[in-house]
Structure 1
Amino acid sequence: MSEMKNNVFERKETKYILSKEQLPEFLADLSCYMEQDEHGLHLIQSLYYDTSCYQMIRHSMEKPNYKEKFRVRCYGVANQDAIVFLELKKKIQRVVYKRRMAIPYSVYQEWIRGGKLPEDPKNPQIQREIAWLFRQYPDLAPKVLISYERLSYFGKEDSAFRITFDQRISYEDTTLNLADTSSRQLVAPELGVLMEVKALGAYPLWFVALLNQYQLKKSSFSKYAQTYQRHLWNKGEKENVSKCVS
């Protein structure tokens, strides 16, 4: 089951960190119960939008009951024929709700040059929610581009139970170009593999046993928050945010 084909999600997302040395053996054990999706190891790029004061990520880092993000996601390196997704991601009491609309990369480029927000005739509600967000935050703009290589697995008995493995989590905050990956830097060089478990209900017993076997504990690693704390904050954003909150 491929995430690339879905436009509406509701689930809990829990993160764990594995070492690179653990990954091959863990995947071998996992393959008894889960299957890798058809895309194999693939590149994901997420262009995060925020206000001039980084209001969204600062609010998110306070661990509120409700938070939201807006990003543009691309699978692979973008070209004029590529499809990108405008994604509105909300988290309410640990449950993640993600809604998105798919548009050609060329249409997205027209939009950011000052064009009209594209419409989604199949689901106009998504377009209305995105338009409302931009009215609430008039200075919303691209701030950082985060990319990583992902492996995705889904349960053999329950395809809604999904696990992803992200490696080489990188960022850049200058060109913000979905068509060029040459200027990326690692967000956290010491990080091995970020595993995300995506499910609404309880974990299967076999997976609980697997977590215990590898002594894996929950992690709060957030790609955007870590990038903001480690890199953006130290590049002058501390002074910009201070002006906004003073």
Structure 2
Amino acid sequence: MKNDAIGVFDSGMGGLTAVKELNALLPRENIIYFGDTARIPYGGRSQETIMRYAKEDVAFLRKHAVKMIIAACGTVSSIVGDRPFVTDLPFTGVVLPTVETACRLTKNGKIGVIGTPATVRSGSYVQAIRKIRPDAEVTAQACPLFVHLVENGYTDFQNPVTRLVAEEYLDPVRRAGVDTLILGCTHYPVIRDIIADLMGPDVQLISSGAEAAKYARRCLEERNLLTDRETPGENTYYVSDSTEMFIENAGHFLHQNVVGKVFRSSL
């Protein structure tokens, strides 16, 4: 089991930010990634639909030999919350690891959260923060267009469309005086530079995908499940829609070529 893969899923490509961090932290681990690109975005769906999609995503990953599953999707992580989801394998979403880091780093106790509409509606980040820091002032802002912009490659630092949208979304968060901002969707680190520029140098940005990857490493270490393989691990990607579009846009997330590693598969 130690040499089984780490399974990662997301509604689209955002979870690749977690994969990138896993590759850096655990370079000898194999990773199997599933992006449900045919049904993106999850953020505007009902809780019942999101749970159904998430269970189907997990079932797909479990067709392969995996030793841990990461829900690298802020929306799924927010809806699942503390409910039993995967119980016989190590499992994590992105909410708790991210909140723990944000609560540790904030100096003024003012924390911002940006995410999909479903994530913000769920209140998951706000509730998790207040369990750790009851005195925290939390400002949550839905950013529904960010996923579409990232998935379609509108990620350049000077892109006028993305900057205009980001300015509108981030204005209330900036005015709230936060010193720490949680990027509560794994797509958002791809436009991190734009967000950082608009928020200013005094605001720390916390990537949910990166924090989930750090948590996964700790989890596997504690359970003695790190691979004993001496050779570099391999990433294999499965998508439920076009492989061509995934391959084209994956470079924005991974900064590497994934040609020959991407396969289309129905659930």
Query: TM-score per shorter chain, which class?
Result: under 0.3
More helix by share: 2
More strand by share: 1
TM-score normalised by L of structure 1: 0.28
Q: Which has the larger radius of gyration?
A: 1
TM-score normalised by L of structure 2: 0.26
